[in-house]
Amino acid sequence: MARQVVVTGVGLVSAVGNGTEETWAALLAGTNGVGRITAFDTEKFDCKIAAEVKNFDPLNFIEKKEVKKMGRFIHFAIAASDFAMKQSGLQATPETAERIGTYIASGIGGFDVIEREHSKLIESGPSRISPFFIPGTIINLASGHVSIRFGAKGPNSATATACSAGAHAIGDSFRLIQHGYADAMICGGSEAAITPMSVGGFAAMRALSTRNDDPTHASRPFDKDRDGFIIGEGAGILILEELEFARRRGAKIIAEMIGYGMSSDAFHITQPCEDGDGAYRVMRNAIQDGGLKPADVSYVNAHGTSTPYNDKFETIALKRAFGEAAKTVAVSSTKSMTGHLLGGAGGLEAGISVLALRDQVIPPTMNYTTPDPDCDLDYVPNQPRKAALNVVLSNSFGFGGTNGALLFKRWQ
């Protein structure tokens, strides 16, 4: 019989807050984290806007001599893990260390380091490449550093499944605990892809918004005038624990995780299925895994990227998955404020989903002003909503047609 899994900690770093409660309060206030890019000169770029993490100092979390050994996505992962671990009170002891694991995803990893070191190679030759180039960039080093930091000697892994990566890391961690391979997992996703190559690459695909003259209104999921997504950065980390393990140490339980779904569109390298089939099946799988019916779900934190295709086809998928209940389930996209964290999105939005359950309030979809006939559900426009939330579903869909959905339940 599968073991019960609970959430005891949430750690968030985002464009609207350096910390869990700061981020959560900003989302409920409708704060927008999108602005002109400051990380590099955007004069020659079609897209000049992003959701950058502001006033973040890695020295608040990491020793100075260690900072330069890591890409920015690792800095965010460590900071978010610190917030989550402090909230949970979890500690690895000689008796528990081998039963505590880490599983932290990223879609792109250390692009900032890759671009910097490549410039050194071109300008000065290979002798100038940093010895920390490889460990500063590879995706599993976020999980590796967190494992070392907290002495977690259990499973140590990472996913790189594009924009589903954070959700997959949490879902896989859920399975590891359910089936007895770990008692606790530090899991989620982190991303820091606001770099020239990344922004230029996504712009070349015509995936990004070019509402450069109005950045705070550029990310507008489900709105008729949406024109592309906004790259965001940051991290979201959950502490998952087996119920009795958490109880024995007197942990405060925030929510229960009850379901995990995966699916593949098997359709196109970037475009979602026109009938929403992959997204429909991943939601169905998560809800069935939790032993529930669609009508049991109170709120969906949508993938909601603000791209014309994603939002239309996710709406179609929601209607297929929920049937008549689609008319009443609340749906919102917090990417309207945080931007799209790519591989970190599933971690951030899982944390937001858990906090929604904790406080019984739904964060809004901001910038929803012009209804789209193709997107006709209840998107909780522009204002948070107090609600009796019992079950929350968090969606993540990635390039390559890879999908993940996480199901959380209120803890009583």
**Structure tokens that stand for 379 in this block:** 């998107």
Name the residue ranges covered by the structural domains of the chain: 5-248, 258-410
Is residue 56 within 8 A of residue 62, CB to CB? The reply is no
Domains 5-248 and 258-410 share a fold: yes
Is residue 301 within 8 A of residue 336, CB to CB? The reply is no
Active site amino acids: 163, 303, 340
To the nearest 10 degrees (0 to 180), the angle between helices 72-88 and 20-28 is: 90
Tell me the longest C-alpha to C-alpha distance in the chain.
64
Strand partners, 10: 238
**What count of other Cβ atoms lies within 10 Å of the Cβ of residue 35?**
17
**Structure tokens that stand for 145 in this block:** 């550093």
CATH fold of the domain at 258-410 = Peroxisomal Thiolase; Chain A, domain 1 (3.40.47)
Does the pLDDT at position 38 exceed 90?
A: yes
Q: How far is CA 299 from the centre of its chain?
A: 17
Phi, psi (degrees; rounded to nearest 5) at 182 = -155, 160
Q: What is the pLDDT of residue 61?
A: 97
Is residue 368 within 8 A of residue 218, CB to CB? The reply is no
Q: How confident is the model at residue 272 (pLDDT cuts 50, 70, 90)?
A: confident
**What count of other Cβ atoms lies within 10 Å of the Cβ of residue 359?**
14
Cα–Cα distance, 187 to 101 (Å, whole number): 8
Cα–Cα distance, 40 to 65 (Å, whole number): 24
Mean pLDDT for 249-256 is: 98
List all residues 6 or more positions away from 256 whose beta carbon is below 8 Å from its beta carbon: 4, 5, 6, 7, 243, 408, 409, 410, 411
96: enclosing H helix or E strand: none
b/e burial code for range 87-107 (CB count within 10 A of at least 16 → b): bbebebeeebbebbbbbbbbb
The percent of residues in the chain predicted with pLDDT above 70, rounded, is: 100
**Does domain 5-248 correspond to CATH entry 3.30.460.80?**
no
Q: What is the pLDDT of residues 62-89, one digit of tens each?
A: 999 999 999 999 999 999 999 999 999 9
299: enclosing H helix or E strand: strand 299-301
Q: How far is CA 227 from the centre of its chain?
A: 21
Question: What does 142-195 look like in DSSP terms, one character per residue?
Answer: HHHHHHHHHT--S-EE----GGGHHHHHHHHHHHHHHTTS-SEEEEEEEE---S
In one-letter notation, the amino acid at residue 205 is M
Mean pLDDT for 15-24 is: 98
Cα–Cα distance, 240 to 173 (Å, whole number): 8
**Structure tokens that stand for 393 in this block:** 């579903």
**Structure tokens that stand for 12 in this block:** 């968030």
Q: What is the pLDDT of residues 215-250, one digit of tens each?
A: 999 999 999 999 999 999 999 999 999 999 999 999
Does the pLDDT at position 271 exceed 90?
A: no
300: enclosing H helix or E strand: strand 299-301
Q: What is the pLDDT of residues 86-117, one digit of tens each?
A: 999 999 999 999 999 999 999 999 999 999 99
Rounded to the nearest integer, the mean pLDDT of the chain is 97
**Structure tokens that stand for 343 in this block:** 């591989």
Does the pLDDT at position 270 exceed 90?
A: no
**Structure tokens that stand for 150 in this block:** 């907290």
Q: What is the pLDDT of residue 275?
A: 92
